[in-house]
Amino acid sequence: MWGGRFAAGPASIMREINASIPFDKRLWKQDIAGSKAHVAMLAKQGIVSQQDADAISAGLDTIAAEYEAHGVPVDLDLEDIHMVTESRLAELIGPAAGRLHTARSRNDQVATDFRLWVRDAIDEVEAGLLGLQRALVARAEDNADAVMPGFTHLQSAQPVTLGHHLMAYYEMVRRDRSRFADARARADECPLGAAALAGTGFPTDRHMTAAALGFAKPTDNSLDSVSDRDFALDYLMAATQASLHLSRLAEEFIIWASQPFGFVKLPDAYSTGSSIMPQKRNPDAAELVRGHAGRIMGCMTALCVTMKGLPLAYSKDMQDDKPPVFEAHDLLGLSIAAMTGMIETVTFRTDRMRGLAESGFATATDLADWLVREGGIPFREAHHITGRAVAAAEAAAVPLDQLPLETLKDIDARIDDRIYAVLTVDASVASRQSHGGTAPAQVRARIADAKKELGS
């Protein structure tokens, strides 16, 4: 490829460091699609003959079939997927293969291929996240009124329902999907035809190639076209946020599966045993999802650091743009699949959840709210009165709703027997009727809206 300019070939170490075919072979479908769109445009514009264009297109189809059947051959001398394909095309159809690269460069070629790949990757993630949302909604509907402790600082705070808790993750995934949709929209411009950096003097039709490849439009600046990797960074940033949400859900499953909590029993399919302790049921799938989040975040950081100091237009550093995106995509796909499977098959021990909700003075705020509402007491005073009631219940080792009325009246004479109507966990959750609250009626209303959003 360099024979006209360089008298000697590259050193062996240069050959290895320069080659990207070991990883960019994943772009072969996108590369062939881009080349077919490009040569069709060249023929329409009269830049190459229709005969040569037909031979090139048929040769590319043959190569695609070979790659599909046998994989892409790794030849470090040919550097990348673009030259591997062009070399094979020359073997198949002869010198006409050399016309394919008219009016384009590997710079705009790889930018186009990579955008196509990222666009396809986003579609895969979108499908996976949609499946996760459906699993969350289904299990939330089954448990819309199942009482559990709600936590702050991992301390029992107020009663909520399991359905409400699961729907919190639905909302996180909804935002994740919106971020990927935004990333896809921004990536929907075609760099093909920008050539090396300055455009081309041939009478090309960039709108034709953009349309053929399913892009909304061609990019508007040739320098930006070949030097931009925002689309890859957008993907990685959306993937990082999604992986953080998956990691939080995984962490809760890990905690809930521990014996002190006992809120869930993870299925055998997503657990492992111990090589020495036969009683163990380890939440390894959830732990790996939690670990993958760190690796995905690392991929995002790696590409940010690569891109932060590059002048326009293309630099060889940008060859390292693909490995972190490929790695993050693979890890994210595994994480989504694992968490969806766990959500669908986990056994929720709602009896255990209710028992702990009832034992942690979680209705203390309901007592304070009742004093404000029924007694006209300022909230700060009601807070102090409630604190004394909690201390009394703790000393007697009973829940708040089992404190004798005499004890409560000794704390504050304004308390009467109506208080017991608000001190049960069921009464507590049922009272949270504000929009987005944990009341089962509110949870079911949000689930109904979510089903409409999901088209189910």
**What DSSP letter does each residue of 373-413 carry, written as one string?**
HHH---HHHHHHHHHHHHHHHHHHTS-GGGS-HHHHHHH-T
Looking at the DSSP assignment, which residues form a beta bridge with residue 155?
152
pLDDT of residue 274: 66
How many domains does the chain divide into? 3
SS3 110: helix
Are 392 and 303 found together in one domain? no
Query: What's phi and psi for 225, nearest 5 deg?
Result: -55, -45
Are 302 and 248 found together in one domain? yes
Tell which of 320, 349, 378 closes a domain: 349
Angle (CA) 309-24-116 rounded to 5° is 85
- Asked whether residue 119 carries a pLDDT value surpassing 90, the answer given is yes
CB 353 within 8 A of CB 147: yes
Are 220 and 257 found together in one domain? yes
Report d(CA 382, CA 375) in Å as an integer.
Answer: 9
- Asked whether residue 344 carries a pLDDT value surpassing 60, the answer given is yes
Are 342 and 369 found together in one domain? no
Are 91 and 111 found together in one domain? no
Residue 378 pLDDT grade (very low, low, confident, very high; cuts 50, 70, 90) = very high
Are 254 and 361 found together in one domain? no
Q: Give the type of residue at 349.
A: R
Q: Encoding tokens for residue 229? A: 């990797």
- Asked whether residue 25 carries a pLDDT value surpassing 50, the answer given is yes
Q: Does residue 97 belong to any structural domain of this protein?
A: yes
Nearest C-alpha neighbor of 176 from the set 122, 108, 139? 122
Look up the CATH number of the domain holding residue 223.
1.20.200.10
Q: Does residue 5 belong to any structural domain of this protein?
A: no
- Asked whether residue 2 carries a pLDDT value surpassing 70, the answer given is no
Report d(CA 23, CA 324) in Å as an integer.
Answer: 11
- Asked whether residue 115 carries a pLDDT value surpassing 90, the answer given is yes
- Asked whether residue 1 carries a pLDDT value surpassing 60, the answer given is no
Between 418 and 131, name the one with better pLDDT: 131
Are 165 and 287 found together in one domain? yes
Between 101 and 11, name the one with better pLDDT: 101
Element (H, E) at 226: helix 222-227
Are 70 and 44 found together in one domain? yes
Q: Encoding tokens for residue 121? A: 């990757």
Are 94 and 219 found together in one domain? no
Residues classed as catalytic: 153, 274
Percent of the chain clearing pLDDT 70 (strictly above): 97
Nearest C-alpha neighbor of 231 from the set 360, 110, 105? 110
First to last CA, the chain: 55
pLDDT of residue 10: 63
Look up the CATH number of the domain holding residue 402.
1.10.40.30
Are 298 and 361 found together in one domain? no
Residues 159-166, mean pLDDT to the nearest whole number = 97
pLDDT of residue 13: 86
Residue 278 pLDDT grade (very low, low, confident, very high; cuts 50, 70, 90) = low
pLDDT of residue 279: 67
Regarding pTM above 0.85, the answer is yes
Q: Does residue 151 belong to any structural domain of this protein?
A: no
Residue 211 pLDDT grade (very low, low, confident, very high; cuts 50, 70, 90) = very high
Q: Does residue 3 belong to any structural domain of this protein?
A: no
261: which residues sit within 8 A by CB, 6+ positions away? 255, 352, 356
Residue 366 pLDDT grade (very low, low, confident, very high; cuts 50, 70, 90) = confident
Look up the CATH number of the domain holding residue 95.
1.10.275.10
* Range of the structural domain that residue 187 is part of: 107-143+159-349
Residues 243-268, mean pLDDT to the nearest whole number = 94
Angle (CA) 81-84-85 rounded to 5° is 85
Q: Does residue 8 belong to any structural domain of this protein?
A: no
Are 184 and 267 found together in one domain? yes
Are 36 and 170 found together in one domain? no
Q: What is the pLDDT of residues 391-428, one digit of tens each?
A: 998 999 888 888 999 999 999 989 988 898 888 899 89
Q: Does residue 1 belong to any structural domain of this protein?
A: no
pLDDT of residue 12: 80
Strands (DSSP E) along 231-284, which ranges?
A: 264-265
Q: Does residue 153 belong to any structural domain of this protein?
A: no
Residues 61-69, mean pLDDT to the nearest whole number = 98
- Asked whether residue 3 carries a pLDDT value surpassing 60, the answer given is no
- Asked whether residue 5 carries a pLDDT value surpassing 60, the answer given is no
Between 421 and 261, name the one with better pLDDT: 261
Tell which of 349, 366, 393 closes a domain: 349
Residue 258 pLDDT grade (very low, low, confident, very high; cuts 50, 70, 90) = very high
Q: Does residue 293 belong to any structural domain of this protein?
A: yes
- Asked whether residue 360 carries a pLDDT value surpassing 90, the answer given is no
Tell which of 349, 374, 398 closes a domain: 349
